[in-house]
Amino acid sequence: MLNQLRYLFSQDVGLDLGTATTIIYVRDKGITLRQASAVAIEKDSGHFIAIGNEALELLGREPEGIEVILPVRDGVIHNFEITCRMLEHFFAKALAGSFGHPSLLVGVPAGTTVIERRAIYEAASYLDISEVFLIDEPLAAAVGAGLDIHQPHGSMVLDIGGGTADISVISLAGTVYAYSMPLAGDAMDQAIIDYLRHEHAFLIGQRTANRIKHCLGSAPTESNSYASKRSCLTIGGRAISSGMPATLELTGEDIQKALLPLLKKIARAVTDTLSDLPPEIVNDIRDSGVTLTGGGSLLKNLAAYLNEETELSMKRAKEPLECVVLGLQTLVDHMDTIRNRQGRDIHASVPLSVTSRARAA
| 109 binds Mg ion, rule: CB under 5 A | no
Angle between the N-to-C axes of helices 252-276 and 185-200, in degrees from 0 to 180, rounded to the nearest 10: 130
Residue 295 binds which one of Mg ion, ligand ADP, none, with CB within 5 to 8 A depending on kind? Answer: ligand ADP
First to last CA, the chain: 48
Which residue from 11, 13, 15, 20 is in contact with ligand ADP, where contact means CB under 6 A?
A: 20
Which listed range, 17-25, 61-69, 111-119, 335-343, lies at the site for ligand ADP (CB under 6 A)?
17-25
Which listed range, 66-74, 89-97, 157-165, 225-233, lies at the site for Mg ion (CB under 5 A)?
157-165
| 27 binds ligand ADP, rule: CB under 6 A | no
| 144 binds ligand ADP, rule: CB under 6 A | no
- Interacting residues with ligand ADP between 291 and 320 (CB under 6 A): 294-296, 298-299
| 327 binds Mg ion, rule: CB under 5 A | no
Total count of residues recorded for the chain: 361
Q: Which is nearer to ligand ADP, 18 or 154 (CB)?
A: 18
| 296 binds Mg ion, rule: CB under 5 A | no
- How far apart (Å, rounded) are the C-alpha atoms in residues 273 and 283? 13
- How far apart (Å, rounded) are the C-alpha atoms in residues 134 and 52? 23
Residue 105 binds which one of ligand ADP, Mg ion, none, with CB within 5 to 8 A depending on kind? Answer: none
| 18 binds Mg ion, rule: CB under 5 A | yes
Task: Return the closest-CA partner of residue 140 out of 358, 352, 351, 346.
Answer: 346
Instruction: Provide the CA 193 distance to its chain's centre, in angstroms.
Output: 21
Which residue from 34, 85, 153, 213 is in contact with ligand ADP, where contact means CB under 6 A?
A: 213
| 163 binds ligand ADP, rule: CB under 6 A | yes
Phi/psi at 200 (5° precision): -125, 5
Residue pair 218/194 in contact by the 8 Å Cβ criterion: no
Phi/psi at 176 (5° precision): -95, -15
Q: Which is nearer to Mg ion, 166 or 254 (CB)?
A: 166
| CA torsion angle 255 257 263 268 (round to 10) | 180
Which residue from 52, 109, 161, 252 is in contact with Mg ion, where contact means CB under 5 A?
A: 161
Q: Which is nearer to Mg ion, 166 or 284 (CB)?
A: 166
Burial level of 152, CB count in 10 A (0-12/13-18/19+)? Answer: exposed
In b/e form, how buried is each residue of 342-355, taking b as 16+ CB within 10 angstroms? eeeebbeebeeebb
Residue pair 4/23 in contact by the 8 Å Cβ criterion: no
Instruction: Provide the CA 277 distance to its chain's centre, in angstroms.
Output: 24
| 327 binds ligand ADP, rule: CB under 6 A | no
Residue 193 binds which one of ligand ADP, Mg ion, none, with CB within 5 to 8 A depending on kind? Answer: none
Residue 21 binds which one of ligand ADP, Mg ion, none, with CB within 5 to 8 A depending on kind? Answer: ligand ADP
Measured at the alpha carbon of residue 21, what is the angle toward residues 106 and 350, in degrees to the nearest 5? Answer: 45
- Interacting residues with ligand ADP between 178 and 197 (CB under 6 A): 185-186
Q: Closest separation between CB of residue 179 and Mg ion, Å?
A: 16
Q: Which residues bind ligand ADP (CB under 6 A)?
A: 18-21, 161-163, 185-186, 210, 213-214, 217, 294-296, 298-299, 321
